[in-house]
């Protein structure tokens, strides 16, 4: 029996949002949820949702899990081997006769392929593999999650006084829930064949603006201190949290890209697909902090 849609990563932050939209708007017979953990089967079947075991590192699960699937949502992994994992899924999808792959990429660089962000390199590789596969695909470059603003600012509510960063710049932070909904909507709508599309909020926000919102909503008096890149990297030696140097190198690389404008691009497609204005970054951050003054992003 042909399965119209298969949603991988269905227990993750984005995949869960996609699945929620499908569950509310599409007959249960037309889609299934997939997870790398076979033990998650009951989570979905208890809701009347069909389940398939799809582990990107397990060729057998890929062979059986992708069988008779028309539209595959390939949710990118956070694994350091994700380039190879995505390659394995694409090859298995080709063998299984999948009709269309919808891939969740990132918006570093907007529509350009020039980003040097390490996190973006595997996405660029995956997009290239999709183009070379001969499969029909759509790569959805999704804006940086607004929920992740604490990661970009290295914000820890237990610390007070100053947030130190190596730079500041504009980021089109975008709600993950809205990205999930729009991803589901675009799959159901169809089209965008062999294209890269961009989902972002309609506005940007800077670290300084976020700090202002943080102070307004929580009553804190946090200051933003911008220091030279090399000075910032040296702060790992005196970090009271014991974070390794690699943590600070990651933050530096994020802001290197932001300064270049890699996350500044906005595009109206998210608004078009949602049928409403996406939540503005400042409104989203304010809402999170009003709900929880000690909010931090949970991976």
With 0-12 / 13-18 / 19 or more C-beta atoms within 10 angstroms meaning exposed / middle / buried, residue 20 is middle
Contact 28, 194 (CB under 8 A): no
Is residue 174 very low, low, confident or very high in pLDDT (cuts 50, 70, 90)? very high
Residues 50 and 187 in one domain: yes
Q: Does one domain contain both 158 and 287?
A: yes
> Do 117 and 166 reside in the same domain of the chain?
no
122 and 238, same domain (yes or no): no
- Neighbour order of strands in the sheet with 195-199: 50-53, 31-35, 3-7, 69-75, 100-106, 136-142, 195-199
Both 100 and 137 in one domain: the answer is: yes
In a domain, residue 125? The reply is yes
Say yes or no: 141 and 210 in one domain. no
Verify that 69 and 103 share a domain, yes or no. Answer: yes
Q: How many domains would you assign to the chain?
A: 2
pLDDT tens string 204-215: 999 999 999 999
- CATH number for the domain that contains residue 260: 3.90.25.10
Q: Mark whether 51 and 108 lie in a shared domain.
A: yes
The pLDDT > 70 percentage for the chain reads 100
pTM (two decimals): 0.95
Give the tens place of pLDDT for each residue, 232-251.
999 878 788 888 899 999 99
Q: Are residues 214 and 194 in the same domain?
A: no
Residue 131 sits in a domain of what CATH number? Answer: 3.40.50.720
- For position 161, what pLDDT does the model report? 86
Confidence grade of residue 171 (pLDDT, cut at 50, 70, 90):
very high
Residue 287 lies in a domain: yes
Q: Which domain holds residue 246?
A: 147-171+203-264+275-291
């Amino acid at each position: 029996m042909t399965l119209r849609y298969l949603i991988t990563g269905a227990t993750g932050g984005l995949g869960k949002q996609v699945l929620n939209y499908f569950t509310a708007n599409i007959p249960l017979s037309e889609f299934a949820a997939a997870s790398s953990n076979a033990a998650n089967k009951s989570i979905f079947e208890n809701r009347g949702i069909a389940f398939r075991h799809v582990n990107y590192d397990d060729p057998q699960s890929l062979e059986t899990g992708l069988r008779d699937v028309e539209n595959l949502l390939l949710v990118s992994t956070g694994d350091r081997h994700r380039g190879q994992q995505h390659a394995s899924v694409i090859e298995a999808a080709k063998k299984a006769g999948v009709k269309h792959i919808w891939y969740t990429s990132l918006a570093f660089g907007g529509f350009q392929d020039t980003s040097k962000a390490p996190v973006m390199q595997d996405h660029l590789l995956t997009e290239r593999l999709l183009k070379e596969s001969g499969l029909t695909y759509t790569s959805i470059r999704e804006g940086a999650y607004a929920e992740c603003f604490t990661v970009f600012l290295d914000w820890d509510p237990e610390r007070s006084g100053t947030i130190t960063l190596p730079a500041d710049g504009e980021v089109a932070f975008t709600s993950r829930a809205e990205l999930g909904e729009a991803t589901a909507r675009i799959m159901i709508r169809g089209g965008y064949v062999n294209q890269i599309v961009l989902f972002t909020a309609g506005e940007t926000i800077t670290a300084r603006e976020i700090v202002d919102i943080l102070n307004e909503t929580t009553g804190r008096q946090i200051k933003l201190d911008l220091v030279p890149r090399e000075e910032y990297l040296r702060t790992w030696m005196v970090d009271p949290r014991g974070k390794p140097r690699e943590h600070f190198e990651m933050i530096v690389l994020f802001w290197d890209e932001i300064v270049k404008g890699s996350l500044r691009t906005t595009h109206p497609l998210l608004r078009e697909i949602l049928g409403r204005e996406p939540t503005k970054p400042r409104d989203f951050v304010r809402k999170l902090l009003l709900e929880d003054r000690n909010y931090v992003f949970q991976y």
